[in-house]
Amino acid sequence: MAIRTIRIQGDPVLEKTCKEVKEITPRIRELIGDMLDTMYEANGVGLAAPQVGILRRLVVIDIGDGPVVMINPKILEMSGEQTGDEGCLSLPGKAGAVTRPNYVKVIAYDENMEEYEIEGTELMARAMCHEIDHLDGHMYTEKVEGALHDVTNEDEE
Ligand code: ZN
């Protein structure tokens, strides 16, 4: 496993739509491990494959409850609303207020291509929305309310 280079906003790879993962190949398995290493190394709570330059629908999240791998994730349900500060490993040192659903239910495949559903509220709901947006080329800065502000050592996605 290895730490990969995190792409920074302005890199065109962050603006593209990712393709579905069809099967777990050795390369995909290695990518999942590397993405987890890279996320933990950067003290992030989530990382999407395009953030390491790979245009595949693959996300890793850990809000402190252990790693979650989401392949080809789709949002099935969302409800409620939360507004709070959001950051991104592709825009280090910055954060801004974003309104997201307070509850999200997602269907995805795990690292063995087993389909599963996962629900999340608050930070988990925010992280899932943020990371899935990356798979369609969207950054949270498109949704930010007001100005970005500087942060140090805050959890970033
Ligand atoms: Zn992000």
Cα 74 to Cα 53, 58, 109, distances in angstroms: 21, 11, 10
Give the percent of the chain with pLDDT over 90.
95
* pLDDT beyond 80 at 100: yes
Q: How far is the CA of 47 from the centre of ligand 1 (A)?
A: 7
Q: How far is the CA of 89 from the centre of ligand 1 (A)?
A: 6
* pLDDT beyond 70 at 139: yes
- The pTM score is 0.95
Quote the Cα angle for 100-38-40, to 5°: 70
The SS3 of residue 95 is strand
Q: How far is the CA of 87 from the centre of ligand 1 (A)?
A: 7
Stretch 108-127: mean pLDDT: 98
Q: Which residues are catalytic?
A: 131
Closest by CA position to 102, among listed 88, 117, 84 = 84
* pLDDT beyond 80 at 157: no
